[in-house]
Amino acid sequence: MIGVVIWSCEQSQRVILWCEDSGDLAYARGPQAYMAQSGGFPGVGDVVAFLVETEALETPGLGGVTRHARAVRVVERGAFPGVDAMLRDTAAVQSQTPTPVPTPAMPAPVLVASRPEIAATNAGAGSAGRSPRQSSLRLAATG
């Protein structure tokens, strides 16, 4: 797999990688995770190639997997300078922008009657001269 280093600590021998498949991040730690190469430890913005191993999370209540990077080697140094600042700035903007909370549409209440009755009624007083089209229908729930 190919990825970009988005966090690096040479002292602890750890890096966090943004993977080309845009899936979960991959983590490398310890000297055994890196291939010997000249040029030093991978830094933020470096493009790296690596093998991926997945491990199921064993924390109760949390699902998913952790991706571990093995045989990490630098392909191109400094290919994405400032990627860490870009991610920080994007996160800051997103945290300041309120996310609209969708309001669910409430369905109209449905009344269910055990014995519905439909009655044709003439609307209002003096309705004797009205045609049947001017009559109204009324659904009354009984029971």
Residue 112 lies in a domain: no
CATH of the domain at 22: 2.40.50
Residue 65 lies in a domain: yes
Residue 139 lies in a domain: no
Q: Are 18 and 61 in contact (CB under 8 A)?
A: no
* pTM of the shown model: 0.62
Residue 56 lies in a domain: yes
Q: Are 28 and 8 in contact (CB under 8 A)?
A: no
Q: How many residues does the chain have?
A: 143
Q: Where are the alpha helices (DSSP H) in 52-102?
A: 83-96
Provide the number of structural domains found in the chain: 1
Q: Which residues lie across from 34 on neighbouring strands? A: 72
Residue 35 lies in a domain: yes
Q: Are 138 and 118 in contact (CB under 8 A)?
A: yes
Instruction: Summarize pLDDT for 21-80 with one digit per residue, the tens.
Output: 999 999 999 999 999 877 889 999 999 999 999 988 776 666 678 899 999 999 999 999
Residue 117 lies in a domain: no
Q: Are 44 and 5 in contact (CB under 8 A)?
A: yes
| Domain extent for 36 | 2-86
Query: What letter represents residue 125's amino acid?
Result: A
